[in-house]
Structure 1
Amino acid sequence: MNITLITPAPPGSRAGNRATAERWSQLLEQAGHRVNIVTEYNGEPCDLFIALHAWRSSAAVVRFRATHPDTPLIVVLTGTDIYDHQHRFPDITHESMILADCLIGLHHRVGRDIPARFTGKLTTVLQSADRPAPPSGPKAGFDICVIGHLRDEKDPLRAALAARQLPETSAIRVINAGKAHNPEWEDKALAEQNTNSRFRWLGEVDKYAVHQLMNRCRAMVISSFMEGGANVVSEACRAGLPVIASDISGNIGLLGDDYPGYFPVGDDTELARMLQRIEQSPDFLGELEVRVKELAGRFTPQAEQASLLAAIERAAAGHARFNP
């Protein structure tokens, strides 16, 4: 098939949606398809159209459906679509969902968080990650990583605030890797680094540096207010790195209802207690490590490719059913 995939993230961007588009392109091309990634849609024909973002790609979705009513259409629901835009801009966001033959959600709880009338179109595709090389030796110190861009919905300094509450005897340091979304976030990160001896901000780093950071850290914190299914959770599981996660749908939908490493979203006091527990209890830290290693098989490229191909089949079948 000739597939067009639209994403709002331009070439060279390290935004998650660009990484998803490029990874999916590779997986689909390995399966024999041809993929053209675009940031704008001008009406060109294709055999299948995939839109990352129901809201941000809404104009392209509407144009595609009007121009090519006989071609299957997949819309991928991001975290901002599900937990922000469908509430602030329901008409636009839901129109994309109505026009889609198949909806892709990136975690297992998406069906609970969208209107029931759309769940019949929903397919789950869990994002994959490469398995990093194992650490070259035992881990020193007790570093905790936070990986992701610094922006409001990520609540990226929550672990740093929690670290301020730890006792003086704690060896925990919080290492944050991620680009500041704007000058305000850069100022916040630098101010926190200057006043919090337990916090270091690396700024934006490449994938190799992320893998190196994961290899030297004891756990990763993902403290987001909203997530559509963060790829960094997949990366941590594949690395065997214990995850401490805010108790939001996007994290629970990846790690499972009974995962023991959740803290109440936005609560740095409870996060501090969780950090202290993993430092003081090797058994608890070991339990989290076992759990993420058990989950790692869900996040392989092979599993993601199979789910993508199933979504394509569902889109084609759905289009034929609704457009006989």
Structure 2
Amino acid sequence: MRIILITPAATKSKAGNRATATRWAHIFRSLGHQVRVATHYEGQDADLMVALHAWRSADAATAYRAKYPDRPLIVAITGTDAYRFIHTDPEMTLGTIELADHLVGLHDLIANALPPAQRHKVHVIYQSAEPIGQRHPYQRYFHVSVLGHLRAEKDPLRPALAARLLPDSSRIHIHHYGKAHTPDWADKAHAEMAINPRYTWHGESAHFEVRRVYQRTQLLVLPSVMEGGANVISEAVVAGVPVIASEIEGSVGLLGKDYPGYYPVGDEAALSALLLRVESEPLFYQALQRAALAKRGRFTAEGETLAWQALLSQV
């Protein structure tokens, strides 16, 4: 098939949407399809459109459906689709969802956010990650990583606020890797570094640098308010890095309801207590690591490819 893959993220962007689109394009090509990745739809002839993000790709999906009413349309539901735009702009978001023949979700609970009449369209496809090889965690201190851009949906400074509450005896240091989406967020990160010796913001990092982080860090914290199924969880699990996450559907839908590393969204006191427990209780750290490794099998490249192969065979 000739596939047009729409993503809102520009070519050189390090945003998750661009990384996802790039990986999916590689999968489609490996399955024998022709793929064009674009940020807008300009009337290109295609047998199938895969639109990443219901709200941001609404114009593209609508234009494609108008031009080719009988050709299939797959829409991937992101975290902001499911947990923001479906409420703030239901006409556009639900309009795209209703146009779609199939919906792709990235975690097990994504259908809960959709109208009952649309849930039968959902196919859950977990995002895969590549192994990183041997890990060599830091020994001088307890390295906690936060991997995500600085924007409201990510609640990015919550780990820094939690670190302020740690006792003097703690060796925890928070290292944050991600781009500030606005100058205001950059100012906030710099201000936090000025008063918090346990927090370092490294700014935007290339993927090869992030892979080095997984080799050295002891723990990943994902503090988000909303996620559609964060690829950093896949990457951490495959790398063998334990995860602490805010208890949101996007993380529970990947790690499972019984995963022991959750804290209430926005609660830095609870996060601080959990961080201290991870650092000071080796048995708890090992339990987190085992629970994460138990999910490793769902985040393989083979599994993601087979899931897409099954869906594409239907269309």
CA distance in 2, matches of 1:66, 1:72: 12
CA offset digits 1:58-94 (Å, max 9, x no partner): 1111111110011111000000000000100101111
Matching residue of 1:189:
189
In structure 2, the residue corresponding to 1:179 is in which secondary structure? coil
CA distance in 1, matches of 2:44, 2:24: 20
Matching residue of 1:27:
27
Matching residue of 1:251:
251
Cα drift, residue 311 of structure 1? 2.3
CA distance in 1, matches of 2:194, 2:211: 26
Establish whether residue 236 from structure 1 lines up as the match of residue 244 from structure 2. no
CA distance in 2, matches of 1:78, 1:201: 26
8 Å Cα contact 1:139-1:217 kept in structure 2: no
Alignment RMSD (CA, Å): 1.0
Matching residue of 2:205:
205
Change (3 A) 1:140 1:310: farther
8 Å Cα contact 2:11-2:18 kept in structure 1: yes
CA distance in 2, matches of 1:97, 1:313: 21
CA distance in 1, matches of 2:89, 2:285: 42
Q: Which runs of 5+ in 2 are unaligned?
A: none
Letter in 1 for 2:231: N
Matching residue of 1:321:
none
In structure 2, the residue corresponding to 1:203 is in which secondary structure? coil
8 Å Cα contact 2:137-2:216 kept in structure 1: no
Letter in 2 for 1:202: H
In structure 1, the residue corresponding to 2:311 is in which secondary structure? helix
Give structure 1 regions of 4+ aligned residues with deviation exceeding 3 angstroms.
136-140
Matching residue of 1:125:
125
Cα drift, residue 260 of structure 1? 0.4
Establish whether residue 8 from structure 1 lines up as the match of residue 29 from structure 2. no
Q: Which runs of 5+ in 1 are unaligned?
A: 317-324
CA distance in 2, matches of 1:24, 1:196: 40
Cα drift, residue 210 of structure 1? 0.9
CA distance in 1, matches of 2:302, 2:207: 20
CA distance in 1, matches of 2:98, 2:226: 23
Change (3 A) 1:49 1:288: same
8 Å Cα contact 1:8-1:39 kept in structure 2: yes
- TM-score of the superposition, structure 1-length normalised? 0.95
CA distance in 1, matches of 2:110, 2:163: 32
CA distance in 1, matches of 2:206, 2:116: 39
Cα drift, residue 136 of structure 1? 4.3
CA offset digits 1:230-280 (Å, max 9, x no partner): 000100001110000000000000000100000000000000000010011
In structure 1, the residue corresponding to 2:294 is in which secondary structure? helix
Counterparts of 1:140-155 in structure 2, within 5 Å, are 140-155=140-155
Counterparts of 1:29-44 in structure 2, within 5 Å, are 29-44=29-44
8 Å Cα contact 2:238-2:293 kept in structure 1: yes
8 Å Cα contact 1:3-1:34 kept in structure 2: yes
Cα drift, residue 137 of structure 1? 6.8
Matching residue of 2:94:
94
Establish whether residue 77 from structure 1 lines up as the match of residue 77 from structure 2. yes
In structure 2, the residue corresponding to 1:27 is in which secondary structure? helix
Matching residue of 1:307:
307
CA distance in 2, matches of 1:111, 1:31: 27
In structure 2, the residue corresponding to 1:241 is in which secondary structure? coil
Letter in 1 for 2:223: S
Cα drift, residue 140 of structure 1? 3.9
Over the matched positions of the two proteins, sequence identity in percent amounts to 47
Cα drift, residue 306 of structure 1? 1.1
8 Å Cα contact 2:136-2:216 kept in structure 1: no
- TM-score of the superposition, structure 2-length normalised? 0.98
8 Å Cα contact 2:137-2:218 kept in structure 1: no
Letter in 2 for 1:209: E
> Which piece of structure 1 moves more, 206-215 or 100-109?
206-215
8 Å Cα contact 1:104-1:311 kept in structure 2: no
Cα drift, residue 138 of structure 1? 6.6
Cα drift, residue 313 of structure 1? 2.9
CA distance in 2, matches of 1:139, 1:300: 30
CA distance in 2, matches of 1:289, 1:123: 28
Counterparts of 1:63-74 in structure 2, within 5 Å, are 63-74=63-74
Cα drift, residue 290 of structure 1? 0.9
In structure 2, the residue corresponding to 1:291 is in which secondary structure? helix
Counterparts of 1:162-177 in structure 2, within 5 Å, are 162-177=162-177
CA distance in 2, matches of 1:113, 1:137: 38
8 Å Cα contact 1:160-1:174 kept in structure 2: yes
Matching residue of 1:319:
none
